[in-house]
A and B are shown apart, each in its own frame.
Chain A
Amino acid sequence: MELSDSVLLHLRDVVDRPDLDGTRYTLEEEIGRGGLGVVYAALDTRLDRRVALKVMDAEWAGEARLIARLEHPGIVPVHDSGALPDGRVYYAMKLVAGTRADHYIAGDPPLAERLRVVHRVGEALAYAHSCGVLHRDLKPQNVMVGAFGEVYVMDWGVEGVAGTPAFRAPETQLDQRSDIYALGACLRFALPPGAPPALIAIAGKAMSREPAFRYPAVTEVLREIERFQDGVAVEAYAESPWQRIRRFAKRNEVLLWLLAAYAGVKFILFFARRL
């Protein structure tokens, strides 16, 4: 049999397109493809609202149940799940209007904003870990930044997900520290050229090849980022005395200015009295 390009294109389209007859959804358009399936925009005809409908490549009803358990502002809520006539599983979730984090970072936001996005990702990840759920494929492409600054972590993984090479931990047996590696890789990705060495060190520690050398929990990564933001020394980076002085000066800038002003006034008064 020789299939022409046009017939093949048609077949790929009609055979892969989910048959939503008998469901409450009508298909609109494809909006993305991930490691586990295809995401479509669809209309929920019962509630008259647009949703994101994720259709899985295989029969993994578990993923929807897994994600439905997670209730966090940084995790897209699942509304519903079901099975297509061909056996594929789908689930409906909130349709997020926003920008993928890798595109968002490409727009060159300030360092503080980059850190805010990574921190929000870490908060969602820490929460999932507390529920016993791993992401398994965390990367900027799986993070959405909404129009009002909200940050959503998408594409929560299931067993067997290989991950994406640049963000994947080297070990084959994945656990929470593998997600910490990916979070470190996300932080590294989010940093601009010439980023402070302390932040590079935090990312580097999270991305240690040996899991035991990484942070023991996502919350520890978050605390390190917060320490940097507060101008406190981070554990991952041994700074020189000069760097310590500079950091101290920057952190206590107002106080130092006040002290300097006070000393200046005292100095002037001292000489004024002697005149």
Chain B
Amino acid sequence: MWDDADTAIGGNRDRFPSTQVSLIEAAAGEPLALERVVALYWKPVYKFIRFKFRKDNEAAKDLTQSFFASALERDFFQRFDPSKAGFRTYLRLAVERFAANRHEAENRQKRGGGVEFANLDEQASGTESPEDIYFQEWRRQLFALAIEDLRAACLEAGKHTEWAVFEAYDLAEGDRPDYAELARRHGVAQTSVTNYLSWARRRLRAMVTARLRGVTSGEGEFRDEMRRLWS
């Protein structure tokens, strides 16, 4: 239902359970930890490259894919030093260096042909910097992955109504149905709608937290990211 053709290369997120795996494990080459990092960062990196270097969709996808392939080959995670910067910043700076090198090499090859600018029909406004877009996409993707975790957990536990109520209310675009309408639609009491939503929101918060712990290096960085995430 939320397929995004532009970034489908990011992988099937349903594979990622909401267990806590850490950057430490990613650094040690643990595949699940690495996949979780890539699942979260693929799209923010892709958007960052598109806006920072004004690449079209395919070129940005290729560059993003090359970056992650190169990062995994070159001990990228092992070289991360949490005392210097948070992982999100570290990764963005690495992307910037990587993409800038490629971008320059491509421009040299064009030999006076000039740079081709892509049409950027994305939702970003003119005032947002590529760094802002990177952060916003990172936050968006973190929530998206946690919602997928929540959906998987609901289906696995047989909590179909809880998921349906949450999806109909909290994921609704535009006007939200009122609680009475939701109660009628799902054949439950109105208080149950309130309880289902409270439960789902609590679970979602826990899943966002678990995802975030998996991509931060320690308590300090985790707290900083939590603060940024909700502010």
Residues of A at the B interface (CB closer than 8 Å) are: 1-8, 10-12, 14-16, 19, 21, 33, 35-36, 38, 57-58, 85-87, 160-162
Contact = CB atoms under 8 A, between A and B. Distances in A.
5 contacts: A3-B143, A3-B147, A11-B204, A16-B205, A21-B198
A57 B220 contact: no
Residue of A1, A2, A85, A161 with most partner-chain B CB within 10 A:
A1
A15 B198 contact: no
Contacts, number: 73
Interface string B160-175: 0000000000111100
B170 A38 contact: no
Interface SS of chain B: helix, strand, loop or mixed?
Answer: helix
B220 A85 contact: no
B224 A10 contact: no
A8 B143 contact: yes
A3 B4 CA distance: 10
A86 B205 contact: yes
A2 B144 contact: yes
A258 B79 CA distance: 74
B204 A58 contact: no
B227 A85 contact: no
B4 A2 contact: yes
B226 interface: yes
A35 B227 contact: yes
B170 A57 contact: no
A1 B148 contact: yes
B219 A15 contact: no
Interface of B: 1-2, 4, 13, 123, 139-140, 143-144, 147-148, 170-173, 197-198, 201-202, 204-206, 208, 219-220, 223-224, 226-227, 229-231
Contacts of B226: 57-58
B230 A16 contact: yes
Contact of A57 (B13, B148, B171, B227): B227
Contacts of B208: 15
B45 to A, nearest CB: 16
Given A33-B227, A160-B220, A162-B220, A7 B173 contact: yes
Given A11-B204, A33-B227, A38-B230, A5 B144 contact: no
A38 B231 CA distance: 9
Nearest to A16: B230
Nearest to B83: A172
Contact of A2 (B2, B139, B170, B197): B2
B172 to A, nearest CB: 8
Contacts of B1: 1
B170 A11 contact: yes
